[in-house]
């Protein structure tokens, strides 16, 4: 029996379309979270320190640049830049992830037990709920992105990709940029838009 | 609080809807599988390591890296502007900034146009 | 026993192992953090006196370990997917091992073996979807029969619901059964839609498989642990929220609600991935010459359905996830909290402020388009079958094709008509009423086109055609009873009554169940190669259709007299005893007739005579190839040269199959 073999380029076109449909689908997930934010917070936001979010935003943006550089590199047969770009991206992504978990959420050890949140708690009404919900859902995607980048880095080390055949890299790259894209929407929605409400009464 | 809420209810609808309509239009122009296979014959060419081909490759590489850097610079500038514009307190203004940045990322980093391209431009 | 080597059994075993790992993981972390193992101090952490372990679990005792239960449930799904083997190719890719696509069953395995494990052929996956759908349909139907017995007479009858004080029984069981009937039926319908889309779309467009066969297999198999969790939810305490799971009730419901959330979440994930596959397949894999407007009408319906599923499903996943997180982590999305209402109003505190209405917005943003997910493929089946059995061209092909898209798009703008009495802003009522009534326009286009197709046709009343006509009649009842619910003034009266139940069942039976049965009968020769028993099919139709009319109209009558949803008892003074009894009897007749169909199809697939090549003289692509479909559906690429539904027009051709190659290759 002979199977009809599709050429790799036809398959890549389908993969690309599938990937974008996945993004459209995810957009509704994150859009739902944004709707929750505007429904529950309205024209206000919690008055939070601005340094950490601004810093991790810069880190994520820079990681996106290096991801793009890695993808351009493999498309132009520059393996060294490709491998290095992936590593830097994963590293910066990990910094972002830690930035959310440790500095923004504030996981600390007190008396041998993990304690969460030094300024806002997940149980601090809707402010805590939406903040932790949105950053948590995003951080989950960041974590998955880091894992995928490391897998791709490992495969690249084994020489799996070439200028003509690097769909795996392209998919990882656009997924990582998509995570950045989400943060472009989330960061202003959480930290910039609306009048700041101080944590009164605590 | 009603206006931004309605805006953000419409936003995913408009963006998602536009993408879906785009895909639908794409279906009209996309040929069936039989025709597409003609483009598949593109032979894999070895990577040049010297000579005029290599010079061309180096130039192409440098141009691509430069483009990435320029877009990154644009995003940085927009982000800084956005951060300071926040004190103006206009949600609509922020929304415009967001859309600008998103468009940059989607067009240059995510190559959204390649979904519409039916043949590889190598 | 070879059965114990199938992917299904392996999946369940590995899943259970992972369930245990997840449970222990959370408990170990809790102890390490210095927290007590039991989460809820109000619930006893083990069986109390006079209770054995099983009774303790059924009574919801595991609620004491809720976070561990939730994580264990998610781990169960992951373990199941690893065990069933549908991710093995992806895991090999991760390690850099290429896995070329393998067609056909593995060597040395019997023919049935591949149906119980990961297989990448869309024909196998389509049948897996279909069989699972019918099993879930019968299970959820049985649940309905239990509470229909209770509702046949006023006052409490069954000791399960607490009628007999000597036997432990609670009304929580009634609510659980109602909720489980609703959600498992919805899962069954989604699987049925998946069955039709997966089996038919590639065949109808002349493709040999879906665009992403591995993803297709994954999308089917993730339904199974999802459905298992849904069923488990009944037996670990149940949940009393109805299928909608509104907070604040669901935020304090028994532990079963968590497995209900997780189960629905993963069934939704299957919807998303499956629909992604359908869209890419439809857009890129059509046969040469098949433009969008030469596709069979069912493909249009499946495509529109997939657009809804792809986007809207995320919202139900999100809304359920938010309640799940609120329950175990205390994030107060839907918890108004009200320590002092004036303080909350000025938003000067980081406390409270949650809003349950947000849940309803998010939930209905999926769940209203979801009903179009349920009915659009069915309406596509009706449009597909009518020309075949009327021997006439389909009336207004383009209008039907585009009306599916129109229903899909308008369906996104109507969700708040479920919320007229919810307390949302009243100015939203009228816009949503208008958009709701707008849905009648594309639906009306379909109806008139069906009438136009039937008009003057030479109608052949075979079983699939009978069910198609039955579907039209039932869907007409469902459709015409919709506007009173979409109109604000009447909805304020009818909201949450049995009128809604009757309307909903009429649309679901007319839009999904009847067409699905028609499709099962119609394509039975295609996937089994044999012809079903026509007489039993006609009896099935003759029992089910009038019984359904009685059931649906009876429910609406009871509703207008004041009977409310999800209530086990009612006032005899309303004078609806007779109606309720009739509805219960009708429900049993429907159940019996469905059983008749299952017996018919099971028996026929083994013993019935072989079907002829094209028993319905259809022009469809899928009927031009042998039945059952060979492993490689189209050995030579088909070419579409004409219009799909030109029945009865002399000299018209839809598709040309190049003559099979002889020798060589």
**SS3 annotation, C566-634:** CCCCCCHHHCCHHHHHHHHHHHHHHHHHHHHHHHHHHHHHHHCCECCCCCCCCCCHHHHCCCCCCCCCC
CB-CB contact of C176 with C238 (8 Å): yes
The pLDDT score that the predictor gives to residue C518 is 96
Residues whose CB falls within 8 Å of the CB of residue C117, separated by 6 or more in sequence, listed in order:
C6, C7, C8, C10, C84, C85
The pLDDT score that the predictor gives to residue B20 is 54
The two beta strands, C638-640 and C655-657, are antiparallel
C7 vs C344, which has greater pLDDT?
A: C7
The pLDDT score that the predictor gives to residue C343 is 47
The arithmetic mean of pLDDT across residues C579-591, rounded, is: 95
* Residues of chain A positioned with their CB less than 8 A from the CB of B108: 68
CB-CB contact of B110 with A20 (8 Å): no
The pLDDT score that the predictor gives to residue A15 is 92
Interface of C with A in 7-26 (CB under 8 A): none
Domain boundaries, chain A: 53-196
Print the SS3 string covering C270-327.
HHHHHHHHHHHHHHHCCCECCCHHHCCHHHHHHHHHHHHHHHHHHHHHHHHHHHHHHH
Residues whose CB falls within 8 Å of the CB of residue C533, separated by 6 or more in sequence, listed in order:
C600, C603, C604, C608
**Which token pair is C505?**
């069942």
Rounded to whole angstroms, how far apart are CA atoms C187 and C220? 12
SS3 content of chain C, % helix, strand, coil (to 5): 65, 0, 30
Nearest CB to B34 within list C279, C425, C637 = C637
Q: Among all residues of chain C, which has the CA nearest to that of A1?
A: C632
Q: Among all residues of chain C, which has the CA nearest to that of A21?
A: C276
What rounded mean pLDDT belongs to chain C?
90
Rounded to whole angstroms, how far apart are CA atoms C315 and C320? 9
Q: Do C354 and A21 touch (CB under 8 A)?
A: no
B33 touching chain C per CB within 8 A? yes
User: Taking CB atoms and an 8 Å cut-off, how many pairs form between chains A and C?
Assistant: 141
Closest Cα in chain C, distance from residue B74 (Å) = 31
Which of B93, B105, B120 is the best substitution to test chain A (most A C-beta atoms within 10 A)? B105
Query: Tens digit of pLDDT for each residue in C245-262?
Result: 998 899 989 999 999 999
B31 vs C490, which has greater pLDDT?
A: C490
Burial (CB count <10 Å: 0-12, 13-18, 19+), residue C575: exposed
Query: Tens digit of pLDDT for each residue in A129-153?
Result: 999 999 999 999 999 999 999 999 9
CB-CB contact of C418 with C495 (8 Å): no
* Residues of chain B positioned with their CB less than 8 A from the CB of A57: 79
Rounded to whole angstroms, how far apart are CA atoms B20 and B34? 25
Q: Which residues of chain A have pLDDT under 70?
A: 1-6, 109-118, 200-202
**Which CATH code fits C119-335+359-607?**
1.20.210.10
Query: Tens digit of pLDDT for each residue in C499-512?
Result: 999 999 999 999 99
What phi and psi, each to the nearest 5 degrees, are found at residue C352? 55, -150
The pLDDT score that the predictor gives to residue B26 is 53
The arithmetic mean of pLDDT across residues C628-642, rounded, is: 88
Rounded to whole angstroms, how far apart are CA atoms C452 and C457? 9
Instruction: Assess whether pLDDT exceeds 70 at residue C274.
Output: yes
The pLDDT score that the predictor gives to residue A106 is 77
Measured distance between the N- and C-terminal CA atoms of chain A, rounded to whole angstroms: 73
Q: Do A34 and B60 touch (CB under 8 A)?
A: no
Burial (CB count <10 Å: 0-12, 13-18, 19+), residue B85: middle
B13 touching chain C per CB within 8 A? yes
Rounded to whole angstroms, how far apart are CA atoms C636 and C656? 10
Instruction: Assess whether pLDDT exceeds 80 at residue C68.
Output: yes
Q: Which residues of chain B have pLDDT under 50?
A: 1-9, 11-12, 27, 30-45, 120-122
Instruction: Assess whether pLDDT exceeds 80 at residue C462.
Output: yes
CB-CB contact of A116 with A80 (8 Å): no
Residues whose CB falls within 8 Å of the CB of residue A170, separated by 6 or more in sequence, listed in order:
A16, A71, B111
Query: Tens digit of pLDDT for each residue in C413-432?
Result: 999 999 999 888 888 899 99
Which of A14, A16, A68, A73 is the best substitution to test chain B (most B C-beta atoms within 10 A)? A68
Query: Tens digit of pLDDT for each residue in B24-58?
Result: 555 455 443 333 333 333 434 455 667 778 888 88
What phi and psi, each to the nearest 5 degrees, are found at residue C638? -75, 155
**Peptide linkage before C551 cis (omega within 30 of 0):** no
Instruction: Assess whether pLDDT exceeds 60 at residue C344.
Output: no
Rounded to whole angstroms, how far apart are CA atoms C511 and C461? 20
Phi-psi region of C170 (alpha: psi -120 to 50; beta: other; left: phi over 0): beta
**Which token pair is C341?**
């209402």
The pLDDT score that the predictor gives to residue B14 is 59
Rounded to whole angstroms, how far apart are CA atoms A3 and C386? 35
The sign of the torsion formed by the CA atoms of B7, B13, B15, B17 equals negative
Print the SS3 string covering C242-276.
CCCCCCCCCCCCCCHHHHHHHHHHHHHHHHHHHHH
The pLDDT score that the predictor gives to residue A47 is 87
Range scoring the smallest mean pLDDT among A110-119, C130-139, C284-293, C514-523: A110-119
Range scoring the smallest mean pLDDT among C370-379, C589-598, C653-662: C653-662
Please list the alpha-helical segments (H only) found in C85-170.
88-94, 122-151
> b/e for C32-47, b at 16 or more Cβ within 10 A?
eeeeeebbeeebebee
Q: Do B30 and C284 touch (CB under 8 A)?
A: yes
Rounded to whole angstroms, how far apart are CA atoms A115 and A127? 19
Q: Roughly what angle, to the nearest 10 degrees, separates helices C66-84 and C297-329?
A: 140
* Residues of chain A positioned with their CB less than 8 A from the CB of C277: 18
Phi-psi region of C563 (alpha: psi -120 to 50; beta: other; left: phi over 0): beta
Looking at domain A53-196, its CATH class is mainly alpha
Q: Do C288 and B34 touch (CB under 8 A)?
A: yes
B25 touching chain C per CB within 8 A? no
Domain boundaries, chain C: 2-94, 119-335+359-607
Rounded to whole angstroms, how far apart are CA atoms A119 and C350? 11
* Pick from C313, C411, C372: nearest CA to C193: C372
Q: Do A27 and B15 touch (CB under 8 A)?
A: yes
């Amino acid at each position: 029996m002979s199977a009809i073999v599709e050429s790799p380029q036809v398959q890549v076109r389908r993969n690309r379309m599938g990937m974008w449909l996945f993004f459209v689908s995810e957009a509704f997930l994150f859009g739902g979270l944004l709707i929750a934010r505007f429904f529950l917070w309205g024209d206000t936001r919690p008055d939070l320190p601005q340094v950490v979010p601004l810093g991790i935003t810069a880190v994520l943006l820079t990681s996106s640049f290096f991801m793009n550089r890695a993808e351009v590199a493999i498309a132009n047969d520059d393996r060294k830049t490709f491998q290095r770009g992936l590593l830097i991206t994963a590293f910066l992504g990990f910094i972002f992830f830690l930035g959310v978990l440790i500095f923004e959420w504030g996981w600390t050890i007190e008396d041998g037990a993990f304690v969460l949140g030094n300024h806002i708690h997940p149980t601090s009404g809707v402010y805590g709920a939406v903040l932790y919900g949105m950053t948590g859902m995003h951080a989950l995607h960041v974590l998955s992105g880091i894992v995928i980048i490391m897998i791709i880095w490992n495969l690249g080390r084994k020489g799996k990709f070439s200028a003509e055949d690097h769909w795996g890299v392209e998919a990882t790259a656009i997924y990582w940029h998509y995570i950045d894209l989400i943060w472009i929407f989330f960061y202003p929605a959480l930290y910039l838009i609306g009048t700041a409400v101080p944590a009164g009464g605590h | 609080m009603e206006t931004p809420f309605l805006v953000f209810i419409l936003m995913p609808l408009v963006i998602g809807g536009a993408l879906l309509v785009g895909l639908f239009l794409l279906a009209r122009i996309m040929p069936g599988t039989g025709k597409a296979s003609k483009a598949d014959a593109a032979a894999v060419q070895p990577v040049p390591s010297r000579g005029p081909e290599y010079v061309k490759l180096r130039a192409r590489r440098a141009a691509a890296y430069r483009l990435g850097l320029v877009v990154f610079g644009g995003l940085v500038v927009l982000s800084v502007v956005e951060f300071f514009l926040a004190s103006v307190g206009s949600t609509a203004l922020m929304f415009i900034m967001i859309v600008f940045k998103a468009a940059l990322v989607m067009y240059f980093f995510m190559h959204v146009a390649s979904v519409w391209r039916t043949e590889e431009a190598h | 026993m070879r059965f114990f080597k199938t992917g299904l059994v392996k999946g369940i075993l590995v899943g259970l192992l992972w369930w245990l790992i997840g449970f222990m993981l959370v408990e170990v972390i809790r102890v390490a953090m210095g927290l007590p193992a039991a989460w809820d101090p109000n619930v006893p952490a083990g069986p109390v006196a006079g209770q054995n372990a099983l009774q303790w679990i059924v009574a919801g005792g595991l609620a004491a370990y809720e976070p561990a239960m939730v994580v264990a449930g998610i781990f169960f799904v992951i373990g199941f997917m690893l065990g069933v083997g549908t991710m093995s190719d992806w895991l090999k890719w991760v390690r850099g091992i290429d896995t070329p696509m393998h067609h056909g069953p593995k060597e040395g395995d019997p023919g049935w073996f591949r149906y119980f494990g990961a297989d990448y052929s869309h024909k196998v996956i389509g049948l897996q979807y279909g069989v699972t759908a019918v099993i879930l349909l019968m299970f959820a139907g049985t649940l309905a029969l239990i509470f229909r017995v209770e509702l046949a007479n006023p006052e409490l009858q069954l000791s399960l619901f607490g009628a007999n004080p000597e036997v432990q029984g609670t009304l929580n069981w009634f609510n659980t059964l109602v909720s489980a009937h609703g959600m498992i039926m919805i899962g069954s319908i989604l699987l049925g839609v998946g069955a039709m889309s997966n089996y038919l779309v590639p065949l109808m467009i002349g493709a040999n498989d879906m665009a992403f066969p591995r993803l297709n297999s994954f999308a089917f198999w993730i339904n199974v642990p999802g459905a298992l969790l849904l069923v488990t939810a009944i037996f670990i305490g149940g949940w009393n929220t109805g299928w909608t799971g509104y907070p604040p009730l669901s935020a304090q419901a028994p532990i079963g609600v968590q497995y209900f959330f997780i189960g629905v979440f993963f069934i939704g994930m299957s919807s998303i991935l499956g629909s992604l596959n359908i869209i890419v397949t439809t857009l890129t894999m059509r046969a040469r010459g098949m433009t969008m407007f030469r596709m069979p009408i069912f493909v249009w319906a499946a495509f529109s359905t997939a657009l809804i599923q792809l986007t809207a499903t995320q919202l139900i996943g999100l809304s359920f996830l938010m309640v799940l997180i609120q329950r175990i982590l205390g994030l107060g999305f839907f918890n108004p909290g009200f320590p002092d209402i004036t303080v909350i109003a000025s938003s000067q505190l980081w406390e409270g402020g949650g809003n349950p209405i947000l849940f309803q917005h998010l939930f209905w943003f999926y769940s209203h388009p979801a009903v179009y997910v349920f009915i659009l493929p069915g309406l596509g089946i009706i449009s597909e079958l009518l020309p075949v059995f009327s021997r006439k061209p389909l009336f207004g092909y383009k209008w039907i094709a585009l009306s599916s898209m129109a229903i899909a798009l308008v369906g996104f703008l109507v969700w708040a008509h479920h919320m007229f009495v919810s307390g949302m802003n009243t100015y939203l009522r009228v816009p949503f009423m208008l958009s709701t009534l707008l849905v009648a326009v594309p639906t009306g286009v379909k109806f008139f086109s069906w009438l136009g197709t039937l008009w003057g046709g030479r109608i052949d009343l075979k079983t699939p055609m009978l069910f198609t006509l039955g579907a039209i009649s039932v869907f007409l009842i469902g459709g015409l009873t919709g506007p009173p619910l979409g109109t604000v003034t009447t909805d304020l009266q009818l909201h949450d009554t049995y009128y809604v139940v009757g309307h909903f069942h009429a649309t679901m039976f007319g839009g999904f169940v009847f067409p699905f049965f028609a499709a099962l009968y119609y394509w039975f020769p295609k996937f089994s190669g044999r012809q079903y028993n026509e007489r039993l099919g006609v009896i099935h139709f003759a029992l089910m259709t009038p019984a359904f009319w009685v059931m649906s109209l009876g429910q609406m009558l009871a509703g207008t007299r004041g009977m409310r949803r999800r209530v086990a008892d009612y006032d005899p003074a309303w004078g609806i005893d007779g109606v309720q009894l009739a509805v219960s009897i009708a429900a049993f007749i429907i159940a019996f007739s469905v059983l008749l169909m299952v017996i018919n199809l099971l028996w026929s697939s083994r013993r019935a005579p072989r079907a002829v090549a094209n028993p319905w003289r259809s022009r469809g692509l899928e009927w031009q190839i042998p039945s059952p479909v060979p492993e490689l559906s189209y050995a030579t690429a088909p070419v579409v040269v004409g219009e799909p539904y030109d029945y009865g027009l002399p000299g018209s051709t839809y598709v040309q199959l190049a003559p099979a190659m002889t020798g060589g290759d």
